[in-house]
C-alpha cells in the first residue's frame, strides 16, 4: 500500500514538472516525423497541376500521451521564387518546437514570379501562397485526430516571404 502511494506521488510529481516545462523547453528527445504528405493540389504559375507537400514533426507517440497538441505551421521564405520546406532554418525551427511538445509543420507552396517582377506579379505570387497556406490549415483540421492536433490552437509563422502568408 505504501509502495503504491509512493509510486503515485512520484508519478504525479514527474507529470507536474513536465507540464510546467512543456512548450517552453526542449523536453522531448525522441520525435516522430511524417514527410512529403500531400495536403492539396493546385495550378502553378505555368498552368500545370502541382502537388502541395508538407513535413510534420511531433514528440514520439511512445513517450508523449497528449491527444490534442498545438500546431506550429512554418512557411519558408525565398521571395516567392526559391527555398523549400526542408531548408535549414525551417528544419531547425520545426525540430526545436517539436521537442517542446508542439506538432510542427513545414509546407511547400507554389513558387514563381513573372519575368517583369511587377507589383502585380508579386501580388499574384502572394495570393497563390496564401491559398496554399489556407489549404494546409484545412488539411490539418480535417486530419486532426490522426496527428493528435488541437484545432483550436493552430499558429502560423514564417520567415521573409513566408511571414506574409496569412
Share of the chain above pLDDT 90, in %: 74
What's the average model confidence in pLDDT over 85-101?
95
**What pLDDT shows up at residue 54?**
98
Assigned domain for 1 exists: no
| Residue 73 and residue 107 in contact, taking contact as beta carbons nearer than 8 Å | yes
Per-position b or e across 125-146, b if 16+ CB within 10 A of its CB: beebbebbbebbbebbeeebee
Assigned domain for 9 exists: no
Domain count, the chain: 1
What's the average model confidence in pLDDT over 57-78?
93
Assigned domain for 149 exists: yes
Domain that includes residue 103, residue range: 28-164
Assigned domain for 3 exists: no
Per-residue pLDDT at 46 exceeds 90: yes
What's the average model confidence in pLDDT over 41-68?
95
- Strand 69-75 relative to strand 103-107: parallel, antiparallel, unpaired? parallel
Assigned domain for 79 exists: yes
**What pLDDT shows up at residue 108?**
96
Q: Which comes out higher in pLDDT, residue 89 or 1?
A: 89
Q: What is the DSSP string of 7-75?
A: HHHHHHHHHHHHHHHTTTS-----EEEEEEEEEEEEE-TTS-EEEEEEEEEEE-TTT---SSEEEEEEE
Assigned domain for 36 exists: yes
The 10s digit of each residue's pLDDT in 122-165 is 999 999 999 999 999 999 999 999 999 999 999 999 888 787 65
Q: How many CB atoms lie within 10 A of CB 34?
A: 13
- Can you give the CATH number for the domain in which 44 is found? 3.40.50.1820
Confidence of residue 19 (pLDDT cuts 50, 70, 90): low
**What pLDDT shows up at residue 2?**
54
Burial of 96 (0-12, 13-18, 19+ CB in 10 A): middle
Assigned domain for 19 exists: no
**What pLDDT shows up at residue 20?**
65
**What pLDDT shows up at residue 116?**
87
What's the average model confidence in pLDDT over 73-87?
92
**What pLDDT shows up at residue 68?**
95
Assigned domain for 129 exists: yes
Amino acid at each position: 500500500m505504501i509502495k503504491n502511494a509512493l509510486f503515485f506521488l512520484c508519478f504525479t510529481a514527474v507529470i507536474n514538472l513536465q507540464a510546467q516545462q512543456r512548450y517552453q523547453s526542449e523536453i522531448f528527445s525522441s520525435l516522430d516525423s511524417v514527410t512529403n504528405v500531400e495536403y492539396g493540389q493546385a495550378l502553378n504559375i505555368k498552368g500545370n497541376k502541382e502537388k502541395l507537400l508538407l513535413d510534420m514533426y511531433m514528440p514520439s507517440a511512445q513517450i508523449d500521451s497528449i491527444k490534442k497538441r498545438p500546431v506550429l505551421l512554418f512557411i519558408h521564405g525565398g521571395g516567392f521564387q526559391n527555398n523549400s520546406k526542408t531548408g535549414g532554418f525551417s528544419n531547425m525551427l520545426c525540430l526545436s518546437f517539436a521537442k517542446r511538445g508542439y506538432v510542427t509543420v513545414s509546407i511547400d507552396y507554389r513558387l514563381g514570379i513573372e519575368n517583369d517582377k511587377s507589383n502585380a506579379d508579386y501580388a499574384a505570387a502572394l495570393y497563390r501562397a496564401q491559398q496554399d497556406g489556407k489549404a494546409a490549415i484545412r488539411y490539418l483540421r480535417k486530419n486532426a485526430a490522426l496527428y493528435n492536433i488541437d484545432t483550436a490552437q493552430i499558429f502560423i509563422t514564417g520567415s521573409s516571404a513566408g511571414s506574409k502568408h496569412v
